[in-house]
Chains A and B, each alone.
Chain A
């Protein structure tokens, strides 16, 4: 596997393929295989979310582009639809929308669903015949007037061409409240990102560039809190929220401000730790000259430190945004599952329980919930990596 040296001569993807060593070729194939394996599950979900609901449970997403064959049944019109032409009675219609499918064979009994070719006439007895065309048009012909309040059954095998639709998305918005959950998630995520950053930035500045008694000790305590896992906080906080809501009538145990503050609390140690490291590293001269010019700490912070700290703020913001967006545990504890509070992750888990077999709903809902992080990921990949690396030790 003399690939490392080959890096120098690696000019293009295809050209060196011929004179590549077996080892290098193997390495490429291995990588390709891993990438395909890693991408396939998400890709399958994505494709499936756009497939027709009926096809979805009938054939795998990997066949999405090929024609599917399957047996179906339909009913003709009733005697109300009949017309008289040249002394015979006809009922005409279509078993599906024209162009939607193609009939390969049909039948009039469920035991023999595929005995006639399209265009042939099936004899129903008493001179009544049924003809079904490949495009789905049918014609019932009778020498006497029809007297039937229910249509006749037609069984057929149809070739269904690939069909992609946005109907699944329409359905989850219309009946599953996914659009509301989407808005709710934003309502949780935006303040839960901005509030801890602002509070942490002020604190980080105070810990770096001001003097007050106990400064070092307090900072050490904040860093120490990094080790406290989220799970340690939940039970007492839940009890506290319930108690407070009994005492104060306007305070609800499950509310947006409640979860904002919770996310703020859980995000603060890391935010303060990271931002302090950054802000303390800013050049001393800048801050001193601001003070000589008579700026207060507040002015120094808002006009000087904040703009200079933008890179650190941005990477923490991305981390916190994704963390809150993807969180399930905190949302389950601090928000109700009612329509006006449920977030995407919680909704998705509910759907997994109640609609476990309705894959058209699950795939499209899942895609709606992951599309925002994916956009952030592809648009801001470099900052995303930085934020993630910085945040990966989060105690939550």
Chain B
């Protein structure tokens, strides 16, 4: 009970302080620059001055916080990537050179590329398949809800769920229960060389498919019925209609879904940390960076790795923001 009260006090304090700023600063502005009243028979308002300052009161917290939490750190990370593990001595491009010979780094790159191929592809394929199938049955909405549900679960929560599925003991792990019922020895799928990464990817596909499905389902509904009708009259079967008429018309949405999942994949960290912590050759970039930062305490190299993630993310984000802006403009 006492903990609960502590928590509530903290929450009220944090939120209250912020509200106090907005109300307080605006109140102060009205007090410091009041209307002069009637001078020489003319009402003199200082509203103009007040309204010139007020926008700054509105944007100030946002600008200050963005400056401290994003602008400064991003530049600092770039700067630190040229420094040694303590961030003290300038080492030039040593961190960059070191990466080329670092087997963990190369392993991460290789795995990240595998993730980038597998996860978006399967998420989109499953998402599309489910969207098409679910639109044709009466219980489609329930089906979609259930498939979308993993999207609400944290990556760590999902990791526990799947660690349970993958457990070696065939009386616990569902996968091994099936596998051993065929007379095989139970295996730890997280330790199978090369393929273990794919068992981790399954988790992210499981989460992201729902996301792909929701967007693609909406896009499919927008495909004009006449185009499908025309194709059928011309003698196209369902499969041809799907691939030649429907898919080309939702290519834009497929691209959006694809790139969004790509960004998620580039930053995937929790799943690898919780499932294998990068052991057995499952390391990925974001987890390697975390590892260098918190276990090796190598500021310079970790900064370099953060930069690699940034460089990979930026072009995709730029394309996506451009597109979002275009869509907003069309509204």
A39: Cβ under 8 A from any B Cβ: yes
Binds A, one of B45-53, B94-102, B106-114, B115-123: B45-53
Assess the A198–B137 pair: CB atoms within 8 A: no
Assess the A38–B147 pair: CB atoms within 8 A: yes
A388 to B167, CA, bound (A): 32
Assess the A45–B164 pair: CB atoms within 8 A: yes
State the Cβ distance, B198 to closest chain A Cβ, in Å.
16
B146: Cβ under 8 A from any A Cβ: yes
Q: Contact size class for B?
A: 35 or more
Pick from B68, B302, B317, B331: contact of A235, CB under 8 Å: B302
A362 to B165, CA, bound (A): 13
A312 to B101, CA, bound (A): 49
Assess the B152–A366 pair: CB atoms within 8 A: no
Most chain B beta-carbon neighbours within 10 Å: one of A1, A61, A202, A348: A202
Assess the A34–B129 pair: CB atoms within 8 A: yes
Provided the pairs A59-B171, A187-B11, A232-B73 are in contact, do residues A38 and B206 lie with their beta carbons within 8 angstroms? yes
Which of chain B's residues have a CB closer than 8 A to the CB of A186? 7, 11
Most chain B beta-carbon neighbours within 10 Å: one of A1, A3, A235, A365: A235
A381 to B142, CA, bound (A): 12
| A contacts with B: majority SS | helix
B77: Cβ under 8 A from any A Cβ: yes
Provided the pairs A34-B126, A226-B317, A266-B69 are in contact, do residues A231 and B289 lie with their beta carbons within 8 angstroms? yes
Pick from A6, A41, A240, A365: contact of B136, CB under 8 Å: A6
A316: Cβ under 8 A from any B Cβ: no
Assess the B3–A180 pair: CB atoms within 8 A: yes
Residues of A1-46 at the interface with B, using a CB-CB cut-off of 8 Å, are: 1-7, 10, 12-13, 23-24, 27-28, 30-31, 34-35, 38-42, 44-45
Assess the B267–A230 pair: CB atoms within 8 A: yes
Q: Tell me how many residue pairs across A and B have CB atoms closer than 8 Å.
A: 341
Measured CB to CB, the nearest residue on chain B to A26 is: B133
Which of chain A's residues have a CB closer than 8 A to the CB of B74? 228, 232-233
Residues of B126-152 at the interface with A, using a CB-CB cut-off of 8 Å, are: 126, 129-130, 133-140, 143, 145-152
Assess the A195–B22 pair: CB atoms within 8 A: no
B250: Cβ under 8 A from any A Cβ: no
Assess the B293–A191 pair: CB atoms within 8 A: no
Which of chain B's residues have a CB closer than 8 A to the CB of A200? 62
A393: Cβ under 8 A from any B Cβ: yes
A272: Cβ under 8 A from any B Cβ: yes
Complex interface bits, A267-287 against B, C-beta within 8 A gives 1, otherwise 0: 011001000010001000000
Q: Count A-side interface residues using an 8 Å CB cutoff.
A: 125
Assess the B77–A235 pair: CB atoms within 8 A: yes
Assess the B273–A349 pair: CB atoms within 8 A: yes
Which of chain A's residues have a CB closer than 8 A to the CB of B273? 328, 349
Assess the B58–A198 pair: CB atoms within 8 A: no
Residues of A152-211 at the interface with B, using a CB-CB cut-off of 8 Å, are: 180, 183-184, 186-187, 190-191, 194-195, 198-200, 202-203, 205-207, 210-211
Binds B, one of A76-84, A85-93, A104-112, A255-263: A255-263
Measured CB to CB, the nearest residue on chain A to B237 is: A1
Assess the B160–A393 pair: CB atoms within 8 A: no
B251: Cβ under 8 A from any A Cβ: no
Pick from A40, A61, A180, A348: contact of B157, CB under 8 Å: A348
Assess the B289–A237 pair: CB atoms within 8 A: no
Assess the B321–A223 pair: CB atoms within 8 A: yes
Assess the A38–B154 pair: CB atoms within 8 A: no
Which of chain B's residues have a CB closer than 8 A to the CB of A378? 145
B214: Cβ under 8 A from any A Cβ: yes
A138: Cβ under 8 A from any B Cβ: no
State the Cβ distance, B70 to closest chain A Cβ, in Å.
5
B162: Cβ under 8 A from any A Cβ: yes
Which of chain A's residues have a CB closer than 8 A to the CB of B93? none
Measured CB to CB, the nearest residue on chain A to B308 is: A231
Which of chain B's residues have a CB closer than 8 A to the CB of A24? 136
Assess the B134–A31 pair: CB atoms within 8 A: yes
**Chain B residues in the interface with A (C-beta under 8 A):** 3-4, 7, 10-11, 14-15, 18-19, 22, 26, 30, 47, 50-52, 54-56, 58-59, 61-63, 65-66, 68-74, 76-77, 80, 87, 126, 129-130, 133-140, 143, 145-157, 159-165, 167, 169-172, 174, 177, 206, 209, 211, 214-215, 228, 232, 237-239, 241, 260, 263, 266-267, 269-270, 273-274, 286, 289-290, 293-294, 299, 302-303, 305-307, 309-310, 313-314, 317-318, 320-321, 324-325, 328, 331
Please list 26 pairs of residues, one from A and one from B, whose beta carbons are closer than 8 Å in the complex, sorted by A's number.
A27-B136, A31-B133, A45-B160, A60-B172, A183-B7, A186-B7, A191-B14, A194-B15, A202-B61, A225-B66, A225-B70, A231-B267, A235-B76, A236-B76, A237-B69, A256-B14, A269-B70, A296-B26, A298-B26, A359-B164, A374-B149, A374-B152, A378-B145, A384-B152, A389-B215, A393-B321
Q: A-B pairs with the 8 shortest C-beta distances?
A: A265-B69, A326-B154, A236-B76, A206-B58, A203-B62, A233-B73, A191-B14, A210-B55
**Chain A residues in the interface with B (C-beta under 8 A):** 1-7, 10, 12-13, 23-24, 27-28, 30-31, 34-35, 38-42, 44-45, 48, 56-62, 180, 183-184, 186-187, 190-191, 194-195, 198-200, 202-203, 205-207, 210-212, 215, 218, 222-223, 225-240, 256-257, 260-262, 264-266, 268-269, 272, 277, 281, 294, 296-298, 301, 322, 325-329, 332, 340, 344-345, 348-349, 352, 359, 362-363, 365-366, 369-370, 373-374, 376-378, 381, 384-385, 388-389, 392-393, 395-396
